[in-house]
Amino acid sequence: MRLDSSGSSLTHLIGGRMYLLFVDESGTHGGSHAFVLGGIAVHEDDASRLQVKLDRLVANHLGRVPPNLEEYELHAAEMRNAKKPKDTAKPNTIPSVWSLVDRGVRLRLLEAAYKAVAEYKPVDSKQPLVAFSVIVDSRFRADDSQVGREKFAYEVLLNKFDMMLKSLRNDHGKPNRGLVIHDERLVAERDIQAWTSEWRKTAGKIGQLKNLADVPLFADSRATRLLQIADLVSYASYRRYAPGVTDHANFDRIWTLFHATEDAVHGCVHYTPTFGQHACHCQACSARQH
């Protein structure tokens, strides 16, 4: 199933109190150092408020409210390197609306967006924004097919979300069902829905999904800023582990949003060939070893 509406209007399809997990991916192109799934879980009570906050943030940085505000997506890679209207080297390239905005403005807006998400105050402090990221190094299970590696990443991500929902219910008395909304990905939508349906019925390699209301739904990222936040999470996570990239400021800004319990951080997982051997000392691996 695919949707065109914003996150705040999705819950009437399912009923009950709902957490919405918006998901996007990075590193699907050939030669990527890793495949990354990033997500942001937003309680339904905060969906509209957060979207309005980000709309205002974009308009403030543009200095106006353009009639096509939805076209100004908070898409990190595009904002950093917007395609110009007349790129003679790539005549079939579709120009980016961001190319008409000064790069300095774009980068300041991007930084402000990360800060706004990291500092957002939810309606109920016991139902906060929660980030998730699964980083699968290209050398991890190198003999697996690309589809197999992506399936593994999705199973991890959805189980981490399911764990969060269980924790909120058991530890804080906040029963919620979960609904996953993914950015459009035509070639993989049916696979992702089939995998999730299977994991809801029986345990996969990691566990059974017991708190999801339905299989993932798909929407155009222009329809909701909340999918754009998922892009920000996946992009920051991708750059955090990219060889030669030393600027991890935006990843550090959202670090405290990753789902954690008193003993460890569970929401950000970094899979390398030596996973579980205490060989990697990045934030995610170190936090899981506590």
User: Can you tell me whether residue 268 is helix, strand or coil?
Assistant: strand
For residue 247, pLDDT over 50 is answered with: yes
H-assigned helices in the chain:
44-62, 76-80, 103-118, 146-172, 189-201, 225-240, 249-254, 283-288
Query: Chain-wide mean pLDDT for the chain?
Result: 88
Mean pLDDT of 7-23: 68
pLDDT for 278 equals 84
> How many other C-beta atoms can be found within 10 angstroms of the C-beta atom of residue 15?
9
The confidence band for 50, taking pLDDT boundaries of 50, 70 and 90, is: very high
Q: Does domain 2-46+128-288 have CATH number 1.10.3470?
A: no
Residue-range domain boundaries for the chain:
2-46+128-288
Task: Find out whether 56 and 263 touch, Cβ atoms under 8 Å.
Answer: no
| Residues contacting 31, CB < 8 A, separation 6+ | none
User: Distances in Å between the alpha carbon of 15 and those of 77, 81, 115, 163, 174?
Assistant: 36, 41, 32, 21, 15
Residue with the larger pLDDT of the pair 110 and 261:
110
User: Distances in Å between the alpha carbon of 107 and those of 78, 80, 103, 154, 282?
Assistant: 11, 7, 6, 30, 26
pLDDT tens readout for residues 128-147? 999 999 999 999 988 888 88
pLDDT for 14 equals 47
User: How many percent of the chain have pLDDT more than 90?
Assistant: 63
